[in-house]
Amino acid sequence: MFAAADPIEAISQRVDTFVTAQRTGAADAGADAAVFLDAAADAATGGKRLRGRFCVAGWRAVEEFSSPSAQLPAPVIAAAAALEVFHAAALVHDDLIDNSDTRRGRPATHRALQARHLGAGWHGDADAFGRSGAILVGDLLVAWSDDLLEEGLRAASPDRAAAARRQYADMRREVTIGQFLDVAEESAFVTEPDDRHAERALRVASYKSARYSVQQPLAIGAALAGADSSQAAALAGFGHPLGMAFQLRDDVLGVFGDERATGKPSGDDLREGKRTVLIAYTREALDPGARRRLDELVGDPGLDAGQIAALQQTITDSGALERVERLIADYAAEADQALSGARLGESAVGELRELAHAATVRTT
């Protein structure tokens, strides 16, 4: 059992303990493998632990309804930590797909491995080495997340372990589908009617983020507490719209965020060509000529600060930013309403509302 006072610290400690054990267990693989394991360990370090916190909150919401003084058990901490390791894998692969240079203010994994290749004076293409290595680092982190989850579930009852395992599997499948939908949208948007772009962008947000970042972590924690159907439905009714709001806020920050706060260059989503709801709404408001110019610029990795500023102004003037902010507020209100009258712990509901605020009103 763990004291529940600081779940972020408990989750981070569990991640660190597990990763240290994995590195120790592979010590005989040699110095080159240590480079690989170091990259995986670095990727799993830091972050807001948001998915793990939602997992803990889902468990607490159910458990505290019947046992207000319950302490946080080891299986929940392990599941929350496994979610964070899986998230690290997703970020490594996402940065590679997007060709991003930085993550959390540090070089992205493929760039860090590229630098190691150059620094060691190794033979061959350093960029190709970094990209190949990052694919494998992401794969290793996925395997680690499974191992950590299973390690934790050994201490859970068989029925609760099975329920949590099913939710975890759903999460893995859905986010992988969502990641592909995101990649596809950057190319397929040209063949779709303009009035369907927002609908398609919202589908990406649902699969890639809303279910993965909020809804499924809550469901995994609730499963470990033995949630009944009404409790699971209330948490799903809260989790999905909140996850949508979370992703829409991320989209806004990807265009307008301060690099000092986000750890990524301002306007990076514009350089990467992200076809978000923000871009869909902007396109809807522009005349054909301005829309063609927008499409020419979005996705150009060489956009300079002046071009980013001009695109930001276009998005603002079109009313798209205001529309997305209203949508965020609507989703947040829908999530909050789902908690009203739910058979969930009172203090845990308060924590869920605090997490909702942190997820939607943020600068990082």
Q: What tens digit of pLDDT does each residue of 9-43 get?
A: 999 999 999 999 999 999 999 999 999 999 999 99
pLDDT at 310 over 90: yes
Closest CA to 57 of 353, 332, 337, 328: 353
The answer for residues whose C-beta is within 8 angstroms of residue 52's C-beta and 6 or more apart is: 7, 8, 11, 80, 81, 83, 84, 217
SS3 351: helix
Contact 56, 355 (CB under 8 A): no
50 within 8 A of 359, measured Cβ to Cβ: yes
Provide the 3-class DSSP secondary structure of residue 286: coil
Q: Give the residue ranges of DSSP H helices in 257-319.
A: 259-262, 268-272, 277-285, 288-297, 305-317
How far is it, in rounded angstroms, from Cα 277 to Cα 327?
10
Answer for the pair 222, 232: CB distance below 8 angstroms, yes or no: yes
The 10s digit of each residue's pLDDT in 202-228 is 999 999 999 999 999 999 999 999 999
Ordered structural domains, the chain, with CATH: 1-46+74-155 (1.10.600.10), 158-364 (1.10.600.10)
Per-residue pLDDT band for 5 (boundaries 50, 70, 90) equals low
- Chain centroid, CA 248 distance in Å: 12
The string of DSSP letters for 129-167 reads HHHHHHHHHHHHHHHHHHHHHHHHHTTS-HHHHHHHHHH
Q: DSSP assignment, residue 123? A: S
- Average pLDDT, stretch 189-199? 89
pLDDT at 285: 96
pTM of the model: 0.93
pLDDT at 69: 66
Least confident of 144-148, 186-190, 239-243: 186-190
For residue range 255-307, list pLDDT tens digits in order.
Answer: 999 888 777 788 989 999 999 999 999 999 999 999 999 999 999 999 999 99
The span from the CA of 330 to the CA of 351, in Å, is 20
- Percent of residues, the chain, with pLDDT higher than 90: 84
Q: What is the pLDDT of residue 104?
A: 84
Cα dihedral 237, 324, 8, 149 sign: positive
Chain segment 122-172, per-residue pLDDT in tens: 999 999 999 999 999 999 999 999 999 999 999 999 999 999 999 999 999
Extract the tokens encoding 321.
């930013």
Residue 254 has pLDDT above 80, yes or no: yes
Give the C-alpha separation, 172 to 165, whole Å: 11
Q: How many CB atoms lie within 10 A of CB 233?
A: 13
- Is the pLDDT confidence value at 118 over 70? yes
What pLDDT digit, counting tens, does each position of 44-87 carry? 998 989 999 999 999 999 999 877 767 899 999 999 999 999 99
C-alpha 315/C-alpha 322 separation (Å) is: 9
Find out whether 278 and 316 touch, Cβ atoms under 8 Å: no
Mean pLDDT, the chain, rounded, equals: 94
